[in-house]
């Protein structure tokens, strides 16, 4: 029996992201002028960050920043571990 793709047992955040259309969101952001001065943190990434903050019930920008920084450090550790083992 194959793995179900009907959102059963998947985290809420993953379900939300799968239900969103990235192209439409970026298009709406461009139409409204939200992408005017963007270099790397576009409307799509901003939306994902804000959804994550709401789900995690963060109360401040500092909490969001600390969580994102911890995730980046964790990913860097995994990458460096992979580089060492090869």
* Local confidence pLDDT in tens for the 86 residues of the chain: 565 566 566 688 888 899 999 999 989 999 998 888 888 888 898 899 999 899 899 999 999 999 888 877 766 665 544 444 43
The sign of the CA dihedral 78, 39, 49, 15 is negative
On whether residue 5 sits in a domain, the answer given is no
Q: The domain containing residue 39 runs over which residues?
A: 12-85
In this prediction the pTM is 0.67
On whether residue 40 sits in a domain, the answer given is yes
> Number of folded domains in the chain?
1
On whether residue 3 sits in a domain, the answer given is no
On whether residue 6 sits in a domain, the answer given is no
On whether residue 43 sits in a domain, the answer given is yes
On whether residue 2 sits in a domain, the answer given is no
Element (H, E) at 7: none
């Amino acid at each position: 029996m194959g793995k179900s793709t009907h959102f059963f047992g998947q985290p809420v955040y993953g379900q939300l992201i799968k239900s969103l259309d990235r192209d439409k969101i970026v298009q709406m952001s461009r139409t409204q002028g939200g992408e005017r001065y963007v270099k790397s943190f576009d409307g799509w990434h901003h939306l994902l960050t804000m959804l994550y903050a709401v789900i995690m019930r963060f109360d401040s920008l500092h909490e969001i920043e600390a969580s994102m920084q911890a995730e980046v450090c964790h990913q860097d550790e995994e990458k460096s571990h992979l580089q060492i083992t090869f």
